[in-house]
Amino acid sequence: MDIIYWILLMCLLDSLLGLVGVVTLWMSAKKLKTIIFILVAFSAGALLGGGFFHLFAEALQNLEIMTAMYLMIAGFIAFFVLEKALFWHHCHKGVCDVHPFSYLILIGDSLHNFIDGLVIAASFFVSAPFGIITTIMIILHEVPQELGNFGILIHGGFNKMKALFYNFFAQLTCIIGGVVGFFAAGAAGFTEYLIPIAAGGFIYIAASDLIPELHNEKVLKKSIVSFVVFLLGLGFMILTKILFE
């Protein structure tokens, strides 16, 4: 099979992760609310861990430390400005039907998936088996993240079908990344600069939007549960870094 077909097939498989939220479509509102509370806590830790231990750590391998730092801060600031712009555009008198962080998670995830597509393409230029293994590793660490993203979209004001559609649409950028990676044939040095920017975006979403949401829980037992789940999300991303990279 030609490399381009392998790349497209693997990127398509990765894109199907965007539909993982379909498992929640038949849940009751009460049960879904409980699950979303857990997913938001898990995603806060996973996004923070992914931003630092995966994306930023990878950026440090390819860029000078200060260059990576500047780009990460630039990504952080860009997402801050973008959220402000979305708030002014979508919210009236402080009331939001859909919270701005819902759009931020889609933008950040789209960029992340685009980079995943570039990585998958590059791995197939090493060998087909290496490309398949790389894709499997990407899928393994993205399943909980995509389920978490779905939960964030619901929490932010999307209905189930809209959240499912937009999450899947954001995941499709993996295919675009795969095609770009194939035609760039390893010359796409710009990905080195995209990675720390994406890291800054992930860190911003976790620190500015999701962690404050956890502080809104006043019941001690639920607060403890959210903190433990947050640590599990963070630990999961650290573990995948150790095991799969």
The whole-number average pLDDT for the span 129-152 is 72
List beta partners, residue 92.
95
Tokens of 151: 């939960």
129: burial class by Cβ within 10 Å (0-12, 13-18, 19+)? exposed
DSSP state, residue 52: I
The whole-number average pLDDT for the span 180-187 is 70
Phi, psi at residue 119, to the nearest 5°? Answer: -65, -45
Position 9 scores a pLDDT of 92
pLDDT category at 191 given cuts 50, 70, 90 is low
Report the C-alpha gap between 105 and 8 in whole angstroms. Answer: 24
Tokens of 163: 């959240």
Q: What is the pLDDT of residues 5-45, one digit of tens each?
A: 888 999 998 888 777 777 666 767 677 677 777 877 887 88
* Amino acid in the structure at residue 167: N
Q: What is the pLDDT of residues 122-132, one digit of tens each?
A: 777 767 776 78
Residue 56 contacts residue 72 (beta carbons within 8 Å) = yes
- Candidate ranges 81-90, 141-150, 160-169; pick with highest mean pLDDT: 160-169
Q: What is the pLDDT of residues 200-215, one digit of tens each?
A: 887 887 888 778 878 8
Which has the higher per-residue pLDDT, 188 or 103? 103
CA 71 → CA 41, 56, 77, 115, 185, distances in Å?
27, 10, 10, 16, 24
Position 80 scores a pLDDT of 84
CA atoms 5, 6, 8, 9: torsion sign: positive
Q: What is the pLDDT of residues 58-115, one digit of tens each?
A: 889 888 999 999 999 998 998 788 777 755 545 545 555 556 667 777 887 787 788 7
Position 51 scores a pLDDT of 85
CA atoms 15, 208, 58, 191: torsion sign: positive
Q: Give the domain ranges of the chain.
A: 32-244
Helix extents (H) in 156-172? 160-171
* Amino acid in the structure at residue 196: P
